[in-house]
Structure 1
């Protein structure tokens, strides 16, 4: 029996070392060498202070900034640890809402988001990503349609000419990867940082 058990134990230890230690360390080293900024979260600093990462969405609430898409992330309810409450862009709990098209909660949330966008004057025609959350709840990008629809409200809140703000958005539109992968998109954090730099 020991002759059958010994190879099994050796294999467990060998594969634990290879897949649990060597492989992760090798991938980490390759990532640090090849993609240092991305491997470290792509953090953006302003005046020596980290303001965010273009890889993870943030909750911009001021009318002076472009807004990201809604976030469906949740966190523990401070009043009752057994329950959860909506906590937008909670990176510690990345997940979609898992609500289906017949869910009353989803329909109510989308309708409320549409009404809020119209009330704030940020949009004329509703872009899908203006009222629906991403699968992770942390999407840092929005569609060019949604970004351009927010131009009048952001320009008015900052006292800027709409043409200048629209041109800024257009310079921050990222095209599809290799021209075919993904969709055209605008990174909200990078756009808002550039917006702050406008005079």
Structure 2
């Protein structure tokens, strides 16, 4: 049977563990993040010259104007709009490969890309699992050069050089594929 002493020890251990895991550890992580990796700890936010937040390097945005590189399509439309609100919701459609709605969405994306003379690639046709992927493949960026160059009246070679500079390698040198962050690329494009 439990004695008062055993019960007292259990309460003290629970309290000490609570202090360690709910107060001390989160505080240390917060302090470390703010001191050593504050850009990442605060959401990798990109600001304009006036200090206004224009986006995050971690979350995709919808670009559909011809003078910008287009992002991956998003089922949740990057959580912007009347249905999603500005909620930050992420997720996939969960439509099966045989679902007619999925096939219809894919065919619509392919048709749109072909109408503007962009060779359809997987990441410009299919949505990502989270619906918030900020990157496209190097090939997808290169396939958009002529459209962007024409819309901005720029030399395609100048835009190709911009893409080359914007390429981000594999995570830790081994995970994933090299890609281009669309927001960063479009910001650099506006600087030209």
What are the within-5 Å matches in structure 2 for residues 22-171 of structure 1? 22-48=24-50, 49-73=52-76, 85=83, 87=84, 92-121=88-117, 123-124=118-119, 126-171=120-165
User: What is the aligned partner in structure 2 of residue 81 from structure 1?
Assistant: none
Q: Secondary structure at the match of 2:144?
A: helix
- Judging changes above 3 Å, is the alpha-carbon distance between structure 1 residues 63 and 26 closer, same or farther for their aligned structure 2 residues? same
User: What is the aligned partner in structure 2 of residue 9 from structure 1?
Assistant: 11
**What's the C-alpha RMSD, in Å, of the aligned pairs?**
2.3
- Judging changes above 3 Å, is the alpha-carbon distance between structure 1 residues 72 and 11 closer, same or farther for their aligned structure 2 residues? farther
Q: Secondary structure at the match of 2:92?
A: coil
Shift of 1:51: 1.5
More strand by share: 1
What TM-score results when the alignment is normalised by the length of structure 2?
A: 0.86
Q: Which runs of 5+ in 2 are unaligned?
A: none
- Deviations 1:92-145 (CA, angstroms, capped at 9, x unpaired): 212222223222222211111111111122x12x21110111122111111101
2-structure distance, mates of 1:138, 1:11: 42
2-structure distance, mates of 1:59, 1:38: 22
Moved more, 47-56 or 187-196: 47-56
1-structure distance, mates of 2:36, 2:66: 38
* 8 Å Cα contact 1:91-1:138 kept in structure 2: no
Q: Which runs of 5+ in 1 are unaligned?
A: 79-84
